[in-house]
Amino acid sequence: MAETTQQGSGNVADRNLALELVRVTEAAAIAGGHWVGAGDKNSADGAAVDAMRSFLSTVDFNGTVVIGEGEKDEAPMLFNGEQVGSGEGPASDVAVDPIDGTRLTALGMNNALAVIAVADGGSMFDPSAVFYMDKLVVGPEAADMVDLRLPVKQNIHLVAKAKGVKPNQVTVCVLDRPRHQGLVEEIRATGARTRMILDGDVAGAIAACREGTGVDMMMGIGGTPEGIVTACAVKATGGVIQGRLAPTDEAERQKAEDAGLDVDRILTTDELVTSDNCFFAATGITDGDLLRGVRYRGRTIATQSIVMRSRSGTVRMVEAEHLAKKWEKYERLHA
C-alpha cells in the first residue's frame, strides 16, 4: 500500500510515487536484460528505453525529463524536456537512465541498473554546462565528517573512525579510468582497499550508503547527471554526496562560467537536489553490489529492485516474479 502523510508537500503527489515507478524500472530491466552478454549495447539500451517510456505513460504524475538519454545519444524518446506520465498533478523533475551501464550489460558484467528518480519541479541541478564532476559519497555514519576539499587520506581516516574500523578495512569504490591513477595510488597508500568498477557509478555510490555491500565510500570523477540521480537516493539513506564540477577543457569551463556556475564550489546533496521529497527506484539488470540481476526462468522472470523515498527516509527491497508470457513483446529477437 502506498504511503500517505497528513500534510502534502505542495508539489509532487503525496503518495509514495516510487512504489509505482518501480514498475517502470522493472520493465526497463527485463527488456534490457535480454541483451546481457550479447555485445550490443545499443540494442540493449534501445529495448530498455522503449519499455521504460511505455510504462512511464501509465504513471499518474506530471513529469518533465530533465536528465534523460540526452543529445549525445540522439534519443528519440526520454530526451531532455520530454513530458512523461499521465500529466496529472503538480510538475515534477524526472531523471532517467534506462540502463546505467550499457557496456556492462553488453559484456555481461556486474552493476548494470535501470534507474529513475523524481523530485519536485525545478529542484534538480541543471547538469548541462559540465558533464563531469568529482564526487565523494559516504553513508550516514560519516556523513557529517567528510569533506571533498580534504586530502584523500584524511577522508579515509575519518570514515574509518566513524565506522569504528581501521583504514585498511575501508573499501573505496572508484571508476576504472586512467584519470584515477593518482587517486587510486593515494587510496592504497593509506592501506585502504579499492573496488574498481568499469561503469555504473550510481550503483557504486548507493552501495557506499548501504550496509552489507562491502563498499564504504565512493570517490572520483564521474557523470554530473549520475551525481544528481544519486543525490535523490542518498537523501533517503541519511548519507551524503558532495560534488565539484570537473570541466574537461577551457571551452567547458567557460560554458560553466557563462551559466553562472562556480567550478570550484563544493555542491552538497541539498544543492544537487533541493527538494526534500525525492523518489528513487532501481532494478538490477546484472548482478552487483547493490542488487541481483534479472533471472529468466522459463515461465517466470525474477527481478530485484530498491525503492526509496527521501521524505520518509524509507528504503524498500522489492522482490518480484513476472509471468514471462506477459513480457514477450520485449524479448530479444534473433535474426
Average of per-residue pLDDT across 271-285: 96
Phi, psi of 231 (to 5 degrees): -60, -40
Q: Is residue 201 a known part of a binding site?
A: yes
Average of per-residue pLDDT across 8-35: 81
Q: Is residue 178 a known part of a binding site?
A: yes
CA distance 160 to 58: 45
Boundaries of every domain in the chain: 14-122+277-330, 132-272
| Angle in degrees, CA 264, 69, 305, rounded to 5 | 95
Q: Is residue 223 a known part of a binding site?
A: yes
Q: Is residue 271 a known part of a binding site?
A: no
Largest distance between two CA atoms of the chain: 57
Please name which of 321, 279, 281 lies closest in space to residue 305, comparing C-alpha atoms: 281
Q: Is residue 258 a known part of a binding site?
A: no
CA distance 2 to 119: 17
Q: Does position 1 have pLDDT exceeding 50, yes or no? A: no
Question: Strand 295-297 to strand 314-323: parallel, antiparallel, or no bridges (unpaired)?
Answer: unpaired
Res 188: pLDDT: 98
Res 90: pLDDT: 84
| Cα separations in angstroms, 320 against 23, 26, 112, 291, 323 | 10, 9, 18, 13, 10
Res 4: pLDDT: 36
- Domain at 14-122+277-330, CATH class: alpha beta
Q: Is residue 15 a known part of a binding site?
A: no
Q: Is residue 226 a known part of a binding site?
A: yes
Least confident of 3-7, 38-42, 59-63, 251-255: 3-7
- Which fold, 132-272? D-Maltodextrin-Binding Protein; domain 2 (3.40.190)
Q: Is residue 177 a known part of a binding site?
A: yes
> What's the mean pLDDT when you consider all of the chain?
91
Q: CB of 34 within 8 A of CB of 324?
A: no
Q: Is residue 69 a known part of a binding site?
A: yes
| Torsion of the alpha carbons at 240, 110, 279 and 148, rounded to the nearest 10 | 20
Q: Is residue 270 a known part of a binding site?
A: no
14 — pLDDT class (breaks 50, 70, 90) = low
Structure confidence by residue, pLDDT tens digits, 176-208: 999 999 999 999 999 999 999 999 899 999 999
In the 8-state DSSP scheme, what is residue 226? H
In the block, cell 569504528 appears at: 164
Res 77: pLDDT: 80
Q: Describe the crossing of helices 18-33 and 41-56 by its angle, rounded to 10 degrees.
A: 150
Q: Is residue 98 a known part of a binding site?
A: no
Q: Does position 51 have pLDDT exceeding 60, yes or no? A: yes
Q: Is residue 176 a known part of a binding site?
A: no
Q: Is residue 82 a known part of a binding site?
A: no
Q: Does position 19 have pLDDT exceeding 90, yes or no? A: no
Q: CB of 194 within 8 A of CB of 182?
A: no
Which neighbouring-strand residues pair with 307? 281, 316
Q: Is residue 141 a known part of a binding site?
A: no
Res 64: pLDDT: 96
Structure confidence by residue, pLDDT tens digits, 262-271: 999 999 999 9
Q: Is residue 132 a known part of a binding site?
A: yes
Structure confidence by residue, pLDDT tens digits, 105-160: 999 999 999 999 999 999 999 988 899 999 999 999 999 999 999 999 999 999 99
Average of per-residue pLDDT across 230-256: 95
